[in-house]
């Protein structure tokens, strides 16, 4: 199946719900049909943007090229061993549907990533993470499709170059390559992850919690902090949490003893909470027209109804400048701005 439209409205195609349009738009679950279409329409496929559910995008303008949206579905067991199972999910599967499926089948690993908006295909690109884990910890390989050559290729976990909210799929060499399917190695006997302080606290009265209890707790925590994208336009965390030297963190702690810090894989650096920095700059619950900062989590910028992409962008820029001025830390957007 391949569906092609022109001047496609994007308000319902991305979670910020900005009123913009794409000059050309394709939905497909068939790589053969897709490759034939691109070959037959080279003039309109010179600039291709690949999107999942649009949960990490901010459109400042209409998109002048072709937006490609994979809608291939399916979750299946690819292989099974004594203590683990390899699960293959297609790019068009909703991410939380996969997490729910894994928990219902008692396969551990993804439960801490419950309720993250987006699709399976987008998960390795962003290396989504939350509550003490990242998706790259569970991926074994990723099936890619080259839009130019028509080649399908499995990329190993090691070759994906997973890092904090990053992967090889963000590099320029992958501009014309789409994630088509992902394999995950999950646990048959789950070893629960309670390293995240807030999650540990939420489950303190439950004896020996399992992956179902963790999923329920994560959903409850996220629901209390983050706005529903179906009600308020947003892209979740707008900024990455910055990492700084221990010396820098100590200097901030002198004036703000309550500053939250988190360890990183780099022994010379420590992570700060971007939301805390933004809140200390006075932006929590800030609103200008329909562009604002969510009251329950300063890391989330929101569209209260009719905000433009430029209005959200200008708010983000003001926040970056304020945090830089107050703490000499430069926040980097996690959201892709177009």
pLDDT tens across 295-328, in order? 999 999 999 999 999 999 999 999 999 999 999 9
Active-site residue (options: 90, 237, 308, 311) = 237
Whether residues 94 and 136 share a domain: the answer is yes
Per-residue burial over 207-227, b = 16 or more CB atoms within 10 Å of its CB, e = otherwise: eebebebbbbbbbebbeeebb
Whether residues 182 and 106 share a domain: the answer is yes
The structural domain count of the chain equals: 3
Whether residues 12 and 109 share a domain: the answer is no
23 is an active site residue: no
Q: Do residues 332 and 53 lie in contact, with contact meaning Cβ atoms separated by under 8 Å?
A: no
The last residue of a domain, from among 51, 70, 89? 70
Q: Is pLDDT at 43 greater than 90 in this prediction? A: no
Q: Is pLDDT at 134 greater than 90 in this prediction? A: yes
Region 244-249 average pLDDT:
95
Whether residues 252 and 304 share a domain: the answer is yes
Share of the chain above pLDDT 90, in %: 87
- Look up the pTM and report it: 0.90
SS3 66: strand
Half-sphere exposure for 160 (CA within 13 Å, toward CB) = 29
CA–CA distance from 85 to each of 98, 128, 146, 178, 187 (Å)? Answer: 14, 21, 28, 25, 7
Share of the chain above pLDDT 70, in %: 100
Active-site residue (options: 53, 111, 311, 334) = 334
Q: Which residue has the tokens 């409205």?
A: 9
Q: Do residues 163 and 125 lie in contact, with contact meaning Cβ atoms separated by under 8 Å?
A: no
Whole-number pLDDT of residue 206 = 85
pLDDT tens across 247-292, in order? 999 999 999 999 999 888 888 999 999 999 999 999 999 999 999 9
Q: Tell me which residue range forms the domain holding 276.
A: 227-337
Active-site residue (options: 165, 167, 181, 215) = 165
237 is an active site residue: yes
Q: Is pLDDT at 197 greater than 90 in this prediction? A: no
81 is an active site residue: no
What is the overall mean pLDDT for the chain?
95
CATH number for the domain spanning 192: value is 3.30.465.10
Task: Give the integer Cα–Cα distance in Å for 184 and 11.
Answer: 32
pLDDT tens across 63-86, in order? 999 999 999 999 999 999 999 999
CATH number for the domain spanning 278: value is 3.90.78.10
Region 25-35 average pLDDT:
96
SS3 201: helix
Region 129-136 average pLDDT:
93
Whole-number pLDDT of residue 207 = 84
CATH number for the domain spanning 48: value is 3.30.43.10
- Taking residue 258's Cβ as centre, other Cβ atoms within 10 Å add up to 7
Q: Do residues 278 and 272 lie in contact, with contact meaning Cβ atoms separated by under 8 Å?
A: no
Helix 211-225 / helix 95-104 crossing angle, nearest 10 deg: 150
Whether residues 212 and 83 share a domain: the answer is yes
């Amino acid at each position: 199946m391949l569906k092609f439209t022109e001047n496609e409205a994007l308000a319902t195609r991305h979670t910020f719900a900005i009123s913009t349009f794409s000059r050309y738009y394709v939905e497909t679950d068939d790589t053969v049909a897709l490759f034939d279409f691109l070959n037959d329409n080279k003039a309109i496929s010179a600039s291709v943007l690949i999107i999942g559910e649009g949960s990490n995008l901010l459109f400042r303008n209409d998109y002048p090229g072709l937006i490609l949206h994979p809608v291939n579905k399916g979750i299946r067991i690819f292989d099974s061993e004594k203590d683990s199972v390899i699960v293959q999910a297609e790019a068009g599967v909703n991410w939380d549907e996969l997490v729910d499926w894994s928990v219902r089948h008692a396969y551990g690993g993804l439960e801490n990533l419950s309720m993250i908006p987006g699709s399976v295909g987008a998960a390795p690109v962003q290396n989504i993470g939350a509550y003490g884990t990242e998706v790259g910890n569970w991926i074994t390989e990723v099936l890619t499709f080259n839009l130019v050559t028509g080649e399908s290729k499995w990329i190993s976990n090691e070759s994906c170059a997973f890092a904090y909210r990053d992967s090889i799929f963000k590099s320029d060499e992958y501009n014309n390559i789409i994630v088509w399917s992902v394999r995950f190695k999950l646990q048959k006997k789950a070893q629960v992850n309670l390293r995240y302080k807030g999650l540990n606290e939420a489950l303190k009265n439950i004896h020996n919690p399992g992956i179902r209890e963790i999923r329920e707790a994560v959903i409850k925590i996220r629901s209390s902090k983050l706005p529903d994208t179906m009600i308020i336009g947003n892209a979740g965390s707008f900024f990455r949490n910055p990492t700084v030297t221990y010396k820098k963190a100590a200097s901030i702690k002198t004036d703000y003893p309550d500053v939250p810090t988190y360890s990183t894989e780099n022994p010379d650096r420590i992570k700060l909470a971007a939301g805390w920095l933004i809140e200390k700059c006075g932006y929590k619950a800030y609103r200008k027209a329909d562009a604002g900062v969510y009251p329950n989590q300063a890391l989330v910028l929101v569209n209260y109804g009719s905000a433009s992409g430029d209005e959200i962008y200008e708010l983000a820029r003001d926040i970056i400048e304020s945090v830089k001025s107050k703490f000499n830390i430069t926040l980097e957007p996690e959201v892709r701005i177009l």
